[in-house]
Amino acid sequence: MKNIKIKTIVVSFFALMLFAGLMSCKKDEGETSSKTSHKVIFKLEASAGSSISAVVYGYDSQITTATNISGTTWSSQEITVPAGTASLNVAASATGANANSTLKAQIFVDGELKGEGTSSGSILSASASFGL
């Protein structure tokens, strides 16, 4: 049990570092950020028997962290991101039931899937990003 907690903490730290790295990415010169606001939902789905433990999600520098999550699915509330938003990011960790377990992270913008990332194994860490 102690070993699983340590692995979960390590995976959570990795997810946070990955999220921070994604947040530091800049668009190329000449590209412009979104000129309108958008409705965004972040979703997670883990395979049966797995347990989602933490998620970090948000846009640009507006970051939210949720911990002590359990179960195989999670969804954020709908977020209205303002015009000018450059990037959307989600990173999550979970403990898989076995080596064949999966975790999927998704970003929906105005009802359409725009970003997705997956992970497989007994220790799961998935992330997704989308540039507006």
Q: Give CA angle at 120 (1, 24), nearest 5°.
A: 95
Percent of all residues in the chain with a pLDDT value above 70, rounded to a whole number: 74
C-alpha span between 43 and 69 (Å, rounded): 13
10 Å Cβ neighbour count for 84? 13
Average pLDDT over residues 109-129: 97
* Model-wide pTM > 0.75: yes
Residue 125 burial class via C-beta count within 10 angstroms: exposed 0-12, middle 13-18, buried 19 and up: buried
Mean pLDDT, the chain, integer: 85
Rounded-to-integer distance, Cα 64 and Cα 58, Å: 6
Other CB atoms within a 10 A radius of the CB of residue 58 amount to 20
Over residues 24-63, the pLDDT tens digits come to: 554 444 444 578 999 999 999 999 999 999 999 999 999 9
Q: Which three-class secondary structure state does DSSP give residue 78? A: coil
* Integer Cα distance of 66 and 81 in angstroms: 19
pLDDT score at 115? 97
Domain layout of the chain by residue ranges: 2-131
